Structure 1
Amino acid sequence: MRLPLFNPSWSLSVKHQHFIVAALAAVFSLPALAAPAGVMLKDPYCGCCDAWAGHMKQNGLEVTSRIEQNMAKIKDERRVPANLRSCHTAEIGGYLFEGHVPADLVKKVLKDKPKIAGLAVPGMPMGSPGMEGPSKQAYQVVAFDRQGKTYVYANR
């Protein structure tokens, strides 16, 4: 018995036809253009980091959390400029996201693939993702490269 998907002149065995159909089914059942999974490196005592990871998840970006005892070392190794540092550092799709960067800007970077190392929201501004509260302050999202050059990527 031959499956109608294949040309009878191919002379594939039924076993091979079933294997090919199963492989195609597996490929086509994958989520289309799934966002890359990321890891958030954080201090064990910070709660707002988990709120930021929740914001990412609500926006379709899966971020797992990993506790690190020496965040300064993590940031030094990844060349996050000292003046841009915040409470957590995430690695998603080959980019760094330092602090409370909004999900829409993470998605924009992943889509546009600019020649930067990542984005940062210095400090922990009230009203940024994960720092929601009764008040909101304006803040900047800053792009940075591996050489330490920076520019304002967005104002929020």
Structure 2
Amino acid sequence: MRNSDITPGLQEYLTSIYRLKKSGKKEIRIGDLARERNVRLPSVTGAMKRLAKMNLVKYSRYGSIELTEDGERIAEVLDRIERDFYSFLVNFLGVPEDEAREEACHVEHGVNVETAKRLVAFMDYLNKCLPEEERRRIKEYIEERADLKCST
């Protein structure tokens, strides 16, 4: 199965499970995901059934939900893409945090995972290999250019 076979909605469920687990939640249930995603219980149940068929979660009715090895791998990549892209938008491009959070989510689900991995690697390079002064100059340049009116 390719990551692109998983709909953005199902990707959101995977990352929600992953983040709940990372936050220290020992046992994740349907109600936890419904609250986290602000959706109704039947929506979560349907999504878990689909993810279980894809072998991305272990789920039983009235039981807890766990990511499989493949599910965790995919969720970890999706989470990293969103976090890194958010950081890039805020710290490098100067995008306001609320907008950056929404845009990072769009990128997480709207770009092929392999392309996103390359974007993350590029952003990582910029953060680790460029001196602070150079990163500051690039950010200033981008902010100046962003203020220009586009001509048609």
Q: Given the two structures, how large is their TM-score scaled by the length of structure 2?
A: 0.23
Structure scoring higher RCO (CA < 8 A, sep ≥ 6) equals: 2
Which structure shows the bigger proportion of residues in strand conformation?
A: 1
Tell which structure's C-alpha radius of gyration is larger.
Answer: 1
Higher share in helix: 2
